[in-house]
Chains A and B, each alone.
Chain A
Amino acid sequence: MALGHPEEDLAIHPRDDDDEVLSPRRGRTALVTALAVGVVLVVLIAVLAMSEPSSSRLADSPLLGRRAPAIEGTSLLSGERFDLRDERGRWVVVNFFATWCEPCRAEHPDLVRFAAAHEAADDARVVSVVFSDQPDDVERFFAQRGGDWAVIDDTTGIVPAWGVTGVPESYLVDPGGVVVAKIIGGITAEGLEDLLERAQGGPQGPGS
């Protein structure tokens, strides 16, 4: 903003009796305070300018690099007990889903393909955990769309233990039982293979 010459301006209009002329500078308190506040605000502005929108700051999970939380329960499809700890020695894709969730339906064929591709070698499995849904609907969902892996209904707090915020969400657990990746949103079979390959090549390589 351009600042004019105020002293000149004063001549245009008679001042109010009440209005003050500039007095000689008294100390530097205002200047110093203003500068200090200014510095703080500049830092604040810099922080605000660098902040990304909250929606793109989806948390990478604190679970990464840690032992996978327990998944234990009876599969809704086969009626067999499942315990994630017994899956050590192979990769596990833990998929959180619900039948009412559109992207979950969209990703399901890819999960089926991924599971089928690894069935022979048995080097990777899929386990699904139901998120806020009815068991009947889930059984129907799998009957219609295929897939015969363990499907666990969450009655013991699996969802909060994994830090799941919504569906679909998937995690990759390595053969040592450590969580190595979290995928928010729908997955594709190719994406999973890719991830698996990278995880195998990386420092988190297979334990067996």
Chain B
Amino acid sequence: MDKTQSHSDAELLNLAVAGDEPAFLLLYERFKNSVFRYAYYMTGSRPAAEEVLQEVFIALLRQGGSYREKQGDLGGFAFGIAKNIVRRIQRRERGYEALLGIEQIGETNLISAADSLTAQAVRNERVERVQTAIASLPDHYRQVVVLCDLCELSYTEAAARLRCSVGTIRSRLNRGHTLLSRKLKPLHKSRTDIEVSGTEGCLI
């Protein structure tokens, strides 16, 4: 394992394609979180994100021979595969409306001991609204928002992934934020109303 630690991503991929399990595991550790998070935020579904993660690594093993380091880093190659699978899933799921699964209900609705009921409910509502607003963005804005704001990639990294300039990333992100703020406006407004009315607004 120590030997493989020093290897580059491309070398690890070559070893993994040749059947080296430790190399594959290390490669998986390096990329799994970024791929999974990207897929999760793009699809808004955990099962879909798991499907994407699995398919990305199977595709890497199958198409690993066709990867050339000159064309870009392996992260970008994996991201390209993930993007295509996400698009395929989105096309497939377009006709359906997602319901909350048991796991998701558990994650979002269970109240931890530390948080109060109201704070948790407000947070859940806000998270849900932001997620819905991101999902409703046009694809080119959504990609940038997901990569920069949620996957915490730098502008340069996002530009490399999406194969566009840093300036384009900046402008798309700005436009994406403006659209998101507009979509989340009712939430801000209602929050302000509560602050203004306070307890005096209560009838009881």
Do A and B come from the same complex?
no
Residues of chain B touching chain A, judged by Cβ–Cβ distance below 8 Å, are: none
